[in-house]
Amino acid sequence: MVEGLRKAFAQISNEVQSTTASLATNSTRLETDTAVFQSRLDSRFWSGDLLARRVGSNGAVEENPAWNAAQNLDNWANVATRKIFTVTPDTTAGTDGEFIANSGVNFIWSSLASSQQALLTRPTDAGNVTGANRLTYLRGDRTYEITTEDRTKPFRQRGSRLGDIVNSDPQFIHNQDFGYSRLSWGSNGSVGSAYTTFRASSAYQNRTPMVIVGANDGMLHGFDARVGTGSTNGGNELFAYVPNSVFSNLINLTDPAYSHRYYVDGTPRVSDVWIGNSWKTMVVGTTGAGGKSVFALDVTNPSNMSSNSVMWEFSHPSMGYTMGQPALVALPNEKFGVIVSSGYHDSPPENGKVWILDAEDGSIIREITLPTTGNLGSPLASDTDYNQVADRVYVADTLGNLWRIDLTGSNPSNWSIPSSLGSDPLFIAKNASNQRQAITAPLSSAFNDKNEHMVFFGTGSFYRNGDNEIPQSPPVDTFYGIIDRGTAIDGRGNLLKQAVIKEDTVNGNQVRAITNNAITTQTGWYLDLAWLEGTGATGARGERVISKATLRTDRVIFTTMTPSADPCAFGGTSFIMAMNLSSGSRLNYAYFDTSGDGKLDNDDMTQIGEEENIPWSGISDTDDGVIKGVTPLYKWLCFAGSSGGTPQCIPVAGSQRFGRHSWREVRNN
């Protein structure tokens, strides 16, 4: 009986609905149809969902969604009419060993290359008939799908046609201004002027808003994002794309004995781009842990997508799993480029690669080799001289190296690690014991109050087998704010130390306070993610950072995660931290409403020794589970935890900085 109960509870804990991605929002202001978009996964049948939830005037997120993408997809009357595309594989390597497929086709049996058809057919199948049936299953046909009533059918039972969404953060795209009207390209800035004209056109202004997200059904999906009360099409699928690099594993999705794996798991990037002498809107996606490629689609007209909207798919023998979100930016050679790293490998690579690709056709503009055997994360492209053109790229690796690449001048052959660094990284993350700390979280950058360029990131790993197991003496991970003065920084010796000095429980939430040390000549600052010193210190508990920090006015905001084996903890817990951007010190005002009275005042502060009115710098609600990241919306921070509940928008303070505001965030596209 005991063993039976143990297995039953284990099964229940495994069959949960959860949110493991950040939220997207359709506005930064509170408007009538403001909504957040929440992805979901259901581990029972490994199905997923994307929900649109309206946000009320008080910041409350409505429990009943405005639309439900999985439900809409399951109600699709004739799945043969779905707009699903793929690409014909490139069979001839380029001069650098790359493969660039650029012939988009419909995802139907007759359009596939023979090599793709072979990957959808088992030796035991009844010829191509079973392979073709398998493809129609992947398109959503349920004729040959196992049901609760009929277990004799050949293909796996699904909870929904929409696959589970795990690590891919939804991206909203409508008519955002990417600022390219300030581009000076062309005669008298004609390219910038053309951007203004492009955005003012009726086709642009009236196009369908869209949310784009990758799912583990092997597809990148685009959904109609309208949430207005008069809209009946919100949540309808506009298109889907199946990358060629996931074809070798698509057959597993139909197996009744399916064991979960990743497919299109990367977070896409969306931007307006100038290519082919015209402005377009482009999405660049990656397969994440599911494959080894990066691909591009033209989404200028979301309601009229076709196989011609497929631009290209790039792969390379040195490319690992493309876990990081690519950058999509204007370059100094007056082209738009896609910047992607060599990603994560099953075994250590000989070195790291950063590719700068032509956004128009995926060809290599510049390949940069980095002397590291660490796995590379998301590249961060920064514009440090305010001309809307990227002039610097940062990328970090799992050996704790933060690399800097300068895009100097219009000749791509000059783009490299700056001479002041030689072949060294800008920074090496090391803990107090001088051990290297893995950097897997995406990077952020901004200028501090002295107009110095800074890079922000946390350390920690949660992608390998065993990363969810906390040893008896766990290592300490850290959050860093590094000032880039062009000289190499080895470890924390010349960084300002901030520290956790108190943790408590207030109004049912865990809270923490940190130090207020002032920065002087240091080359940055750091905060170890644990209460390590003083009376009551709890010590290291395996806390780490695996998601991107958010930068707002004088603050850096980030989430941490601590894994847990407790099945009721939804995989772990998180703190939301808010600190001074320039020094890493605590803010000098109440930021979180810890008392729950709707005000931000002295009731949201604490006393340590004789010092009073110390604001809390971190807050955690264990009922939320793990929070991947926060989404700013007006005067709130919105987030969803792995518990899978309705997202929350908590009130936070606005900027309390007075006088001259020299801070500015660097475009992180």
pLDDT along the chain (669 residues), means of 10: 58 55 62 83 91 91 94 96 98 96 98 96 79 96 94 94 94 95 95 97 96 97 89 93 97 94 96 97 96 97 97 97 95 98 94 98 98 97 95 98 97 97 97 97 96 97 83 94 97 98 95 97 98 93 95 94 75 93 96 93 94 95 86 89 86 64 46
The residue whose two tokens read 């993408």 is 69
Residues near 369 by Cβ (< 8 Å), separated by ≥ 6?
351, 352, 353
pLDDT at 467: 81
| Cα gap 549→555, rounded to integer Å | 10
pLDDT at 28: 54
| Cα gap 388→383, rounded to integer Å | 6
pLDDT at 624: 83
Q: Is the dihedral of CA 613, 580, 326, 387 positive or negative?
A: positive
What CA dihedral angle connects 545, 551, 555 and 556, to 10 degrees?
10
CA-wise closest residue to 440 among 518, 545, 526: 545
Terminal CA-to-CA distance of the chain, rounded, Å? 56
| Cα gap 267→23, rounded to integer Å | 12
pLDDT at 26: 64
| Cα gap 326→359, rounded to integer Å | 11
170 by DSSP, 3-state: which?
coil
Q: Give me 247's structure tokens.
A: 């074809």
72 by DSSP, 3-state: which?
helix
| Cα gap 88→548, rounded to integer Å | 34
> Please, how many CA atoms are within 13 Å of residue 620, restricted to the half-sphere of its CB?
25
pLDDT at 564: 82
Q: Give me 255's structure tokens.
A: 């197996």
Angle at 455 between CA 386 and CA 593, to 5 degrees: 100
- Cβ 243 vs Cβ 295: under 8 Å: yes
- Cβ 418 vs Cβ 404: under 8 Å: yes
Where b means 16+ CB within 10 Å and e means fewer, 532-558 reads: eeeeeeeebebbbbbbbbbbbebbbbb
From residue 203, how far is each of 198, 375, 467, 611 by CA, in Å?
9, 42, 48, 59
> Please, how many CA atoms are within 13 Å of residue 336, restricted to the half-sphere of its CB?
27
| Cα gap 379→355, rounded to integer Å | 10
pLDDT at 92: 96
pLDDT at 625: 85
| Whole-structure pTM value | 0.93
pLDDT at 125: 80
pLDDT at 1: 61
- Cβ 393 vs Cβ 354: under 8 Å: yes
